């Protein structure tokens, strides 16, 4: 019988990597607190309609990438492919619009998309999601971008590039779509099959195509800026002014439209050269009409999502620090059964004092136990044999310096605490 392995596109996060995840999540929580964002925990599955209506029926996510299933009650449910729609649903369902606005929320957790696995991209992947709901003020767009940059600054990321664009609104975008169709029509047959399918449904998405031939065709495409209504143009100008005011370096990319239909006005990405072709570390923007598409009132909002795996990958590429490694403080070595029983008590005392401690449970010899102690990264080894047990002492060895001292059994805890 063949071994059962993890499905394609998912992976186990082992201890040598999981502590790096914990570090990123800790820094994210600190930055969120500094910016006034409160953490929420959202369901990993929702009614399919939330995503089909919220994200857009014609998006790749809804058409090709969602994990959708029918439960035993005949309801269509979907593992969340992203968090923004869930965050808006949470805001509406829990009547957070009755609170002081904007409501600033963040969450972290796994998302699910059936797409081709590649560097830093998996079918189950973790995202950090930050959303500011309930205001159309462009200063909040700037704050959201600033939050992402501050997160990356504290994590030590360098050589990042901020690109922004405006994707207009339902008032001005239809006219721009017609301009795009007029531009692309003479070269329709040269477009890839995916872009041909987008021609009628959502020609803006052609601008986002990574196919080299399509990218060459889009080089001369009309700029959306000339089609923006006064409100969108003013909003975009104020976002740029705000970014300049806080010293954020950016440039405008007319191809940036993002892959989800709910975006309005501001769209942005932070890019890194460490990720190859799929080089976005984060992406986000404004989605003023999303709440209405899922049955709620008009709720102007803006936010971004960033992939945890992709952050860790870039940090590793750039040799960023993940803080101190989670090594043990103490490894206890017992030379016989009676000594191990006494060490069990000592280990419990040290752990209760918040000192990370482990011991041998395999009844191995002293040499093998010392090998395990070294491998654990412990600072101290507490060594107990028959003689030490009879004399009420413990030999404490500093595994970093090699120094070894004999300590009264009752004084071991204080000795360890004062020398860590």
Establish whether 84 is an annotated binding residue. Answer: yes
Map the chain to HEC letters: CCCCCCCCCCCCCCHHHHHHHHHHHHHHHHHHHHCCCEECCCCCEEEHHHHHHHCCCCCHHHHHHCEEEECCCCCEEEECCCCHHHHHHHHHHCCHHHCCCCEEEEEEEEEECCCCCECCECCEEEEEEEEEECCCCHHHHHHHHHHHHHHHHHHCCCCEEEEEEECCCCCCHHHHHHHHHHHHHHHHHHCCHHHHHHHHHCHHHHHHCCCHHHHHHHCCCCCHHHHCCHHHHHHHHHHHHHHHHCCCCCEECCCCCCCCCCCEEEEEEEEEHHHCCCCEEEEEEECCCHHHHCCCCCCCEEEEEEEHHHHHHHHHHCCCCCCCCCCCCEEEEECCHHHHHHHHHHHHHHHHCCCCEEECCCCCCHHHHHHHHHHHCCCEEEEECHHHHHHCEEEEEECCCCCEEEEEHHHHHHHHHHHC
Scored b (16 or more CB within 10 A) or e, 40-58 reads bebeebbebebbbbbbbee
Establish whether 318 is an annotated binding residue. Answer: no
CB-based burial label for 338 (10 Å; 0-12, 13-18, 19+): middle
Establish whether 113 is an annotated binding residue. Answer: yes
Establish whether 277 is an annotated binding residue. Answer: no
Establish whether 189 is an annotated binding residue. Answer: no
Establish whether 278 is an annotated binding residue. Answer: no
d(CA 250, CA 267): 12
Facing residues of 280 across strands? 271
d(CA 8, CA 176): 40
Instruction: Tell me how crowded residue 97 is: count the other CB atoms within 10 A of its CB.
Output: 15
Establish whether 262 is an annotated binding residue. Answer: yes
Binding-site positions for L-histidine: 82-84, 113, 127, 131, 258, 262-263
Binding-site positions: 82-84, 113, 127, 131, 258, 262-263
């Amino acid at each position: 019988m063949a071994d059962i392995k993890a499905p394609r596109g998912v992976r186990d996060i082992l201890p040598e990597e999981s502590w790096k995840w914990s570090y990123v999540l800790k820094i994210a929580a600190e930055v969120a607190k500094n910016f006034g964002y409160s953490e929420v925990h959202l369901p990993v599955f929702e009614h399919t309609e939330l995503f089909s209506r919220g994200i857009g029926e014609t998006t790749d996510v809804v058409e090709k990438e969602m994990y959708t299933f029918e439960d035993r009650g005949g309801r269509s449910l979907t593992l969340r492919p992203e968090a923004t729609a869930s965050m808006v649903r949470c805001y509406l369902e829990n009547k957070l619009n009755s609170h002081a606005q904007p409501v600033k929320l963040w969450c972290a957790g796994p998302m699910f998309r059936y797409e081709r696995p590649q560097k830093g991209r998996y079918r189950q992947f973790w995202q950090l999601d930050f959303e500011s709901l309930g205001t159309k003020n462009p200063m909040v767009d700037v704050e959201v971008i600033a939050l992402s940059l501050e997160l990356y600054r504290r994590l030590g990321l360098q050589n990042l590039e901020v690109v922004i664009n405006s994707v207009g609104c339902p008032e001005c975008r239809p006219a721009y779509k017609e301009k795009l169709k007029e531009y692309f029509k003479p070269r329709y047959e040269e477009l890839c099959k995916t872009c041909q399918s987008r021609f009628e449904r959502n020609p803006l998405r052609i601008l986002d195509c990574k196919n080299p031939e399509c990218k060459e065709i889009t080089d001369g495409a009309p700029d959306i800026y000339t089609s923006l209504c006064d409100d969108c143009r003013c909003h975009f100008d104020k976002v740029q002014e705000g970014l300049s005011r806080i010293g954020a370096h950016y440039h405008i990319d007319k191809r940036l439209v993002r892959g989800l239909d709910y975006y309005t006005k501001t769209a942005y990405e932070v890019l890194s050269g460490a990720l190859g072709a799929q080089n976005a570390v984060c992406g986000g923007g404004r989605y003023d009409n999303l709440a209405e598409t899922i049955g709620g009132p008009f709720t102007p909002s803006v936010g971004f999502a960033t992939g945890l795996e992709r952050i860790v990958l870039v940090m590793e590429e750039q040799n960023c620090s993940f803080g101190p490694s989670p090594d043990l403080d103490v490894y206890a070595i017992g030379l016989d059964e009676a000594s191990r029983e006494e060490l069990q008590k000592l280990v419990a005392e040290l752990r209760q004092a918040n000192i990370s401690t482990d011991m041998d449970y395999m009844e191995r010899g002293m040499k093998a136990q010392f090998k395990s102690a070294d491998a654990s990264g412990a600072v101290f080894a507490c060594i107990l044999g028959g003689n030490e047990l009879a004399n009420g002492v413990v030999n404490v060895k500093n595994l970093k310096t090699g120094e070894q001292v004999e300590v009264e059994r009752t004084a071991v805890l204080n000795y360890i605490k004062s020398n860590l």
